Structure 1
């Protein structure tokens, strides 16, 4: 299965009325969501800390924070990595879990997940 492309709204939780729509991919191998720094800064989203990530055959450091996403008509706040200009916008597994979504590999889309209580 290839990548699943999605349109996602991005907003600052402190100013949720201003939403920027971007196109990205769903990556079930990624833990966090990645949004380019310029998009986050244009919304006034500030980093909360800096983390080290294994990537590109080595390690990189990136700022992380929290951002609001609009996906399939729902709004949630998720952890976000401040991506560089060349980084692809990625919706990671943490966001999918927060939204209660999963990948439908047959249709190549997102769908509501069957949630388990225990």
Structure 2
């Protein structure tokens, strides 16, 4: 299975004119979406809480989080964003993908869409 990036637009839920579009790594192993702190601050996203995350190596880190909207191909959803380091690759997390109804095709390095999202 390979990794790949897709274009994602993030928006300030309180002011959709404040947005940023970048290439995000599709990361089914990450729960939340990660965005460099400077991008979130420039959009006026405020820290809502500190949240502990377990890393791939088993260590834990505490990161600032806030709320953003994620837009991909005319689909939009509100999600938790992690405030990442400045050199961090933006990550599209599993919660955003599941809420949007995205199906990941890692072999062909592309996404698809569910016809319907399960309620149960």
The reply to whether residue 32 of structure 1 matches residue 35 of structure 2 is: no
Runs of 5+ in structure 1 lacking a partner? Answer: none
Please state how far the C-alpha of 1:67 moved relative to its aligned partner.
0.5
Runs of 5+ in structure 2 lacking a partner? Answer: none
- Give the number of aligned pairs: 118
Residue matched to 1:43: 43
Aligned mates of 1:63, 1:56 — CA distance in 2: 19
Q: Give the 3-state SS of the residue equivalent to 2:39 in structure 1.
A: helix
Which consecutive segments of 4 or more residues in structure 1 shift more than 4 A?
none
Residue matched to 2:53: 53
Aligned mates of 2:119, 2:37 — CA distance in 1: 36
The reply to whether residue 63 of structure 1 matches residue 61 of structure 2 is: no
Aligned mates of 1:68, 1:116 — CA distance in 2: 21
Over the residues paired in the alignment, what is the CA RMSD in angstroms? 1.5
**TM-score for both structures, normalised by structure 2:** 0.89
